[in-house]
């Protein structure tokens, strides 16, 4: 450590009158200025500079007699001026030899209580740096230690210390025309590890506000970033915050600088910092990396796909779909969607060969991830009928393989596909796949889910409106007939579909067919209870209006049959009773006619009309639908289900015995 003391002392100075030194410590500024010029004249003489003992003695005298803590401020300022004049007179050739003698008292005055003394010391330090140039760099750690101590008095002294360091850097940055950046960076790294919190904070603030403006070496920025990242790992919040701001400032200069920065090298450094244990370093480094990646891929959007290895990028992105972090999976899907929009011709063939990856992603526990996967699926299937059909085949296969997947995500997937694609086409495709399904139990389960979405999802409002026009509209009729065959796998789904299209007489016959076939079982009762609950949804609000207006005998009969098939004193039976009570018993002239017949008459002989002439059953207005054939189709499929359930029940004892 530099010490202001020295073995070289002298009370007499060859060629310097005592009055000059006396006036140098005068209280009046004008007197000190005159003494300054006089001192410069005497110390510039060759006979004075030729004797090193004269120089050392004068420096020692100014230090002890003028800059002692007990001296008044004006004498300290005079001493600082005297030392500055001495170094100016010696010039660079000799001045650097006496830095160990001159610098200690100057640095000591930087800690003085008087503001003017501190500023004078800063000015003196800057002037000395101008003279000795890069030679002062040897003492930079001592200079920095003295200047950074000013941070104990925040706000008032930081501009002064910042200015001093800035000017010293300009002066010491060159030596023989070359900047000694290696030594400087090495010093910064060592300083960050050994200085106090206040000193480290000052250094970081100085780096962020001053240093980048002077230096434009690309690898210097990389080293400087490492110093700033060191600050992110400090325990004090203020220091971490300052380091974060400094890093943002450095990044700004990298972005706006004219010199090209090696971003590959920068990315490697950042990935190293991203592996550090503290979260702030991880977050900052990854944010920078993400910024560069986003810019790089955005640039690839403007150019041809050949400029970017799409398959390699997609391989990385799809591998991240199995990452444990939800945010990572979401970001990967965002980029897949972007690449699909930018380079569809390249991306679609990739997923043709890796379609199962996107299908498996639909099993993600996060709804947000599932919705994004569906967007990608919809984008792929939108313009290609082959891809459209393939999506539903794979989807049904996965529903069948993993029933929990069907129960957990089925409704969400179907409703979102209807929102992204054409709802009618979605349901027609599901129905087409189900028509070829051999697993009756699974088919029933899937149809119940599809029916629930059809009745309740807002995304299918237009489709429901079309189905309500089945008896008077060809489009609604075709859609109804296309869905009917697959809907027959579930009794409750079939009945709700009939009620939705207002085919109330056919709904009544479907319900009565259970009594006719004598195959009612607990599963059907459960389904019918679910159906009653569906009748309470807004989709069937118009049923209340019809009952209250006494407009449909067959609707009343259908609901009455449902009520009679329900166990008494259940929630479902109470709901139906509440609806039926809205209609007085005398509302229908023939209300009891064939209502509970075990064998409905053929469709062409059942022409019971409502007492009101203008309220004929709307089903009679449509001759294009062969409801008798539909009823027979429903019975045949339900018989298969009944036989399958019966066989399964009979095999259970044998399966239990074999497993035991």
Span 12-31, average pLDDT:
79
pLDDT of residue 307: 52
Lookup: tokens for 201: 């904070």
Computed over every residue of the chain, the mean pLDDT equals: 76
Q: How far is CA 410 from the centre of its chain?
A: 26
Residue 161 has pLDDT above 70, yes or no: no
> Any idea which fold 1-178 has?
1.25.10
Given the structure tokens 């989807």, which residue do they identify?
395
Report pLDDT for 308. 62
Tell me the per-residue pLDDT of 285-296, one tens digit each, with 9 for 90 and over: 777 777 766 666
Q: Residue 461: how many CA atoms within 13 Å on its side-chain side?
A: 3
Name the most confidently modeled range: 244-248, 308-312, 430-434, 538-542.
430-434
Domain boundaries, the chain: 1-178, 422-649
In this prediction, residue 136 carries a pLDDT of: 76
Alpha-carbon gap, residue 345 to 383, rounded angstroms = 12
Residues in the chain: 660
DSSP secondary structure of 398-416: HHHH-HHHHHHHHHHHHHH
- Which whole number is the average pLDDT over 463-486? 93
Instruction: Name the most confidently modeled range: 359-368, 525-534, 543-552, 619-628.
Output: 359-368
User: Is this prediction's pTM over 0.85?
Assistant: no
Of residues 434 and 519, more confidently modeled: 434
Largest CA distance in the chain: 142
- Among 174-178, 368-372, 578-582, which range has the highest average pLDDT? 368-372
| pLDDT score recorded for residue 29 | 85
User: Which pLDDT tens digit goes with each residue over 56-68?
Assistant: 888 888 888 888 8
Selected residue with higher pLDDT from 288 and 505: 505
Q: Report pLDDT for 488.
A: 93
Residue 587 confidence (pLDDT) above 60: no
69/619 Cα distance (integer angstroms): 111
Residue 217 has pLDDT above 90, yes or no: no
């Amino acid at each position: 450590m530099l010490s202001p003391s020295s073995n070289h002392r002298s009370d007499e100075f060859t060629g310097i009158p005592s009055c000059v030194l006396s006036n140098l410590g005068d209280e009046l500024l004008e007197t000190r200025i005159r003494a300054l010029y006089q001192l410069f004249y005497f110390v510039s003489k060759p006979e004075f500079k030729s004797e090193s003992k004269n120089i050392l003695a004068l420096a020692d005298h100014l230090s002890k007699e003028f800059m002692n803590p007990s001296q008044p401020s004006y004498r300290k300022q005079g001493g600082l001026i005297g030392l500055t004049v001495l170094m100016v007179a010696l010039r660079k050739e000799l001045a650097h030899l006496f830095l160990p003698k001159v610098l200690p008292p100057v640095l000591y005055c930087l800690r003085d209580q008087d503001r003017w003394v501190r500023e004078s010391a800063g000015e003196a330090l800057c002037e000395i740096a101008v003279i000795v140039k890069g030679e002062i760099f040897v003492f930079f750690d001592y200079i920095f230690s003295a200047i950074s101590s000013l941070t104990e008095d925040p706000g008032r002294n930081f501009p002064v210390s910042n200015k001093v360091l800035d000017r010293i850097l300009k002066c010491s940055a060159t030596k023989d025309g070359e900047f000694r950046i290696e030594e400087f960076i090495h010093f910064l790294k060592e300083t960050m590890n050994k200085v106090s919190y206040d000193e480290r904070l000052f250094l970081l603030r100085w780096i962020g506000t001053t240093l980048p403006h002077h230096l434009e070496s690309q690898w210097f920025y990389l080293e400087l970033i490492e110093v700033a990242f060191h600050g992110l790992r400090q325990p004090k919040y203020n220091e971490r915050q300052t380091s974060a701001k400094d890093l943002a400032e450095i990044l700004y200069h990298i972005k706006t600088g004219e010199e090209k920065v090696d971003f590959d090298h920068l990315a490697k450094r950042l990935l190293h910092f991203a592996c550090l244990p503290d979260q702030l370093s991880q977050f900052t480094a990854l944010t920078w990396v993400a910024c560069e990646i986003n810019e790089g891929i955005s640039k690839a959007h403007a150019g041809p796909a050949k400029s970017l290895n799409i398959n390699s990028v997609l391989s990385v992105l799809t591998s991240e779909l199995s990452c444990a972090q939800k945010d990572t999976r979401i970001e990967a899907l965002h980029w897949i969607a972007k690449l699909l929009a930018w380079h569809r011709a390249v991306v679609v063939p990739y997923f043709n060969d890796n379609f199962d990856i996107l299908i498996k992603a639909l099993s993600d526990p996060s709804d947000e991830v599932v919705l994004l996967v569906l967007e990608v699926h919809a984008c792929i299937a939108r313009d290609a009928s082959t891809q459209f059909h393939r999506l539903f085949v794979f989807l049904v296969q996965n529903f069948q393989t993993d029933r929990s997947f069907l129960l957990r995500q089925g409704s969400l997937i179907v409703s979102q596909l209807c929102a992204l694609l054409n709802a009618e086409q979605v349901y027609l495709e599901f129905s087409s796949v189900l028509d070829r399904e051999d697993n009756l139990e699974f088919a029933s389960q899937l149809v119940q889910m599809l029916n629930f979405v059809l009745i309740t999802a807002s995304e299918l409002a237009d489709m429901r409106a079309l189905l309500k026009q089945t008896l008077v509209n060809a489009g609604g009729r075709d859609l109804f007939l296309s869905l009917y065959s697959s809907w027959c796998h579930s009794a409750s789904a079939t009945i709700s579909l009939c009620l939705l299209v207002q085919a109330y007489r056919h709904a009544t016959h479907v319900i009565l067919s259970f009594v006719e076939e004598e195959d009612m079982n607990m599963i059907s009762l459960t389904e019918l209870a679910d159906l009653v609950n569906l009748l309470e949804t807004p989709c069937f609000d118009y049923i209340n209006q019809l009952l209250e207006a006494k407009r449909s005998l067959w609707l009343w009969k259908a609901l009455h049959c449902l009520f009679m098939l329900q166990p008494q004193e259940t929630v479902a039976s109470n709901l139906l009773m509440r609806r039926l009570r809205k209609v007085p018993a005398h509302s229908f002239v023939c209300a009891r006619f064939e209502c509970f017949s075990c064998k409905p008459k053929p469709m062409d002989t059942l022409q019971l009309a409502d007492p009101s002439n203008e309220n004929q059953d709307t089903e009679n207005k449509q001759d294009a639908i062969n409801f008798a054939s539909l009823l027979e189709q429903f019975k045949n499929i339900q018989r298969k289900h009944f036989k399958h359930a019966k066989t399964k029940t009979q095999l259970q004892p044998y399966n239990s015995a074999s497993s035991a």
